[in-house]
Amino acid sequence: MDRHRILFVCAGNICRSPLAEGIFRHLATEAGRASEFEIDSAGTGGWHQGEKPDRRSVEVASGHGVDISAQRARRIETTDFHRFDLILAMDQDNLKNLSKIAPADALGKLHLFNAFTLGSPKDIPDPYYGGHEDFEAVYTMLLAGCRALLPMAGKALRAS
């Protein structure tokens, strides 16, 4: 069986996308479907390359039984556009940035996270300058989207 490859993308790959990666991996594992997926995250910028996720993202994830502490930030690479079946941007700015650098044949893989998972045009807000409650709110939004993504992931990715 081919694995479905999903990449979650935000700006620096230390807040939102590591949370999305961790949440989706956790849900897939709980559902006994982890072997079906290759899950990763990246940033459109390289400011935090090699760094651990923001401590507040790690704390919020841990508080919900999700361990993202081993992740390391990385910048999206050209090869990612061919390697992944689905690339989910956390907000419109990141989607635009991805669209500018993606090869033409990969544009169909790019989607806004909430639009693809929940049919909503809303961005996942960047909690970086906020407090614990902002990270909790982002976790809740990502959990809802990842819960919606898991049952449709196989079908959606086979169709693309």
Question: Which of 54, 80, 126, 146 is labelled catalytic?
Answer: 126
Is 16 a known active-site residue? Answer: yes
> In angstroms, rounded to a whole number, what is the distance separating the alpha carbons of residues 43 and 151?
26
Neighbours of 45 (CB within 10 A): 16
Closest by Cα among 102, 14, 110 to 61: 14
The first and second tokens of residue 86, run together, are 């689905």
Among residues 15, 16, 54, 146, the one annotated as catalytic is: 16
Nearest to 22 by CA among 8, 32, 1: 8
| Rounded Cα gap, residues 18 and 39, in angstroms | 10
| 10 classed as catalytic | yes
Q: What DSSP character marks residue 75?
A: B
Cα angle 120, 128, 143 (rounded to 5 degrees) comes to 40
Active site residues: 10, 16, 126
